Every structure is written in C-alpha cells, then in structure tokens.
Homo-oligomer: A and B are copies of this chain.
Amino acid sequence: MKGNVIVGQSGGPTAVINSSLAGVYKTAKDRGFNKVYGMRHGIQGFLDESYIDLSKYIKNNLDIELLKRTPSAFLGSCRFKLPEIHEDREIYEKIFGILNKLEIDSFIYIGGNDSMDTIKKLSDYAVLTGQSQKFVGVPKTIDNDLALTDHTPGFGSAAKYIGTAVKEVIRDGLGLSYKKDIVTIIEIMGRNAGWLTGAAALAKGEDCEGPDLIYLPELPFEVEKFMEKIRALLKKKHSVVVAVSEGIKLPDGRYVCELSAGKGDYVDAFGHKQLSGTADYLAHLVAAEVGCKTRGVEFSTLQRSASHIASRVDINEAFMVGGAAVKAADEGDSGKMVVIDRVSDDPYQCATGIYDVHKIANDEKLVPRNWISKDGTYVTEDFLDYVKPLIQGDYPPVMVDGIPRHLVLK
C-alpha cells in the first residue's frame, strides 16, 4: 500500500501556483496515494509542524477548479533556505522525523531556485542516511528566469496581464492627448531578467501600436539617450508610452531608482534594495526636461496575482507539471525538478521533462541579446514568437456577487 504525499509552496506569489498544487493533489489521489498533506508556509512552517490534510479543504472537483483560479500560495509561502547538511544536521533530523511520522513517500515542493535547493539538500540527506522518501520540485516564477525549462509556470499569466494592461494604458493616453503631450512610464517587475518587461510588446497588434520603447534590465540604461528618444517621439506623436524594468541600471551599475532622492537607501525585510520609484523618477525627469505632462505607472503586485485574467495555457501547464512531479516521485525519481520542454513551435506543443536538481546552476536565465533590438529599446519578433503561445486562452474566474471567488484556508 502506498504511503502519503506532502506538498509545499515557496517564494513569491503567481497566478497559477495553486494550479500546480491542484495538479499535485489530483494526481496523488488518482495514483492511489493515501493522504495528501500540505505544508503551511513551506518548509519553514513544516519545521513548526504546521501542515494540513488537503482532502479536508479540497472536497470535490469544484474546489479543484476554484483552487486553479486562486492567486498566491493557497498553503502560504515562505522564503527559507536550508543550511548545508554538514552545518546543521539537527534540522534535517527534525524534518525527517516529521516525514517519517506522517509516513510520507513523496515530498513535492513548488517554487523557484531556492526551492530546488531545498529539494537537492533533502534528497541528498535521504540518500546519505538511507531513507526512502522521494523529493521532486515543481518550477514556479513569474520572472521566467529558471534555466533548463523552456519557461516557468506563472510567467504566461503575468505576461498576459502585462500585455493587456499596457494596451489599456496606451488607450488611456491616446484618448487624452489632444494638442498636448503625455509621456507615460510603466514600471514592470523583473530585477535582472527582462522577460516580463518585454511582454509589454504583446500590446502591439492590428489595433495598437504597442509601447514606444521597452527597456530591459539586461542592458545598461543611458539617461541621455533615453531623453533623446523621448524628444524624437514627441515630434511625431502626442502620447508616448515607455515600459521599463524595475531593475534597469545605469552604465556605472547603480539602479536608476537610486537616483530618486530618499528611495535608494530603502531596503526591504529580505535585505533587497526596494526597487520602486523607477517610473516615478523617470516621469519627473521627463516632466522637468521636456515640460510635458507625465505619468508613472507601477504594475506592482497586480502583475503576479491577477488570476482574473490568467492564461489558460499557463494554468493547464502549471497543473500538468504538478501532476508530473507526483508521477516522477511515485516512479522512484528523487532530487529532480520537472521542466517544460517545447516540443513544437507551430503548432505550439509542450511536454514535461525531468532534470537533476544537482545540475541546476543558480544562474538566472536572461533574455538573449539577439532577442533585444540593436539599439536596446525593444524586443524582437523572436521574443514575441516565444512568448505568444504562453498567453493563449482564458480561464475565466468563477464570479460570485460580481467578484472572483477563491478557495481559501480558514
């Protein structure tokens, strides 16, 4: 008889991280596992023995559908890095003590690079101590910066939201700009990788010119050249829209937002510099130098939690990789991460693959230089060909009293 499965969620929210959770749950049940536990707030909560029996919360297929449409980690997330095994064996003994008590066969962890590090260390410890649990990771990040997988669940929905919202902002500006100039600077997430900022180009189509300029963090941002571009655009049109990554840096390595007085020294609870204010800073700069109306717009947390306009491809793939992780663990894989392989571009087809987490370098996958235009102010058609299949199809929210319904822990 099969034992139990435990699943956890880690890192930043996405619109589809719960679709992966639903995939884990459904596949575990279908494959005859006994109980499916959920860690509260990932491995950090697990260490406090905070976990639930998921069947008490997912009672039927409607709950599964609601879960797939619920943004942010249903189980709660954490940012917690396990120590090296030789540094602190006690913490591992504690984890495995709980795993054995709960009769866990398969440990599934949904998250980004840090989560794959957790999978690696736990599977190593199991091998070192001759224990039989299997550990498999499920990739997740809106940033799309994980290597080895064609793309990551969460990116497609964030890209779809960004493309849609950029298009709506462009229309907003066009409506207002009669005989006066308006420059709108939109700030998009992505500290080092420009995948999300590049997705602003999705607004472009038969009915929209798209943003006028797109600045990714992969290339240095030159303020003077930027101002020249703005001035040139304002000679041709009244409403100019620019998408910039929160992480764009000057050639000397400073973040652009650090130029904004009183913001550069602001550090968040994780010790990261707070990268807000890039759009505001550039908007004020353009207003001061050009003298026209400007607006800074930050998409902020909306871009990662906007389940209400999630991509069907993304939700389905997130579900699929969750299920594939359970299957892999059930078939004996451990210390592995499920990846998405693009089998075909046209028609778009993807399949899951599996990868040894020991081989994952902690490199961030950046937008290749040849997918950025020569002058560094746009993305190329190749970039769009890569992203477009990932935003296709809708997964409309279940609306109750005019507002999307979510599945939540109470």
Which residues of A pack against B, CB within 8 Å? 9, 12-13, 40-42, 44-45, 70-74, 76-78, 160, 163-165, 167-169, 171-172, 174-180, 184, 202-203, 205-208, 261-262, 266, 268-269, 276-277, 280, 284, 287, 292-293, 295-302, 304-309, 311, 388, 391-394, 396, 399-408
Distance in Å from the Cβ of A69 to the closest Cβ of chain B? Answer: 11
A71 and B305 contacting across the interface, CB-CB below 8 Å: no
In the docked arrangement, what's the CA distance between A394 and B394, Å? 14
Hey, which chain B residues are within 8 Å of A13, CB to CB?
A: 171-172, 175-176
Question: Which single member of B71, B292, B299 contacts A172 (CB below 8 Å)?
Answer: B71
Q: Is the CB of B178 within 8 A of A76?
A: yes
> Which 10 pairs of residues, A with B, have the shortest CB-CB distance?
A41-B178, A72-B175, A391-B402, A269-B293, A73-B175, A72-B171, A168-B305, A172-B305, A297-B300, A392-B402
Please indicate the chain B residues that have their CB under 8 angstroms from the CB of A407 in the complex.
Answer: 207
CA distance A207 to B78 in the complex (A): 22
Query: Could you name 13 residue pairs across A and B whose Cβ atoms are closer than 8 Å?
Result: A72-B172, A72-B176, A73-B175, A76-B174, A160-B403, A167-B406, A180-B269, A262-B262, A266-B284, A295-B300, A295-B301, A388-B401, A391-B403
Choice from B78, B180, B296, B309 contacting A178 with Cβ under 8 Å: B78
Residues of B within 8 A of A163 (CB): 402-403
- Determine if A396 and B396 form an interchain contact, defined as CB atoms under 8 angstroms apart: yes
Contact A408 B208 (CB under 8 A): yes
Contact A160 B207, beta carbon cutoff 8 Å: no
The answer on a CB contact under 8 Å between B304 and A172 is yes
When distances are taken between beta carbons in the complex, the residues of chain B under 8 Å from A72 are: 168, 171-172, 174-176
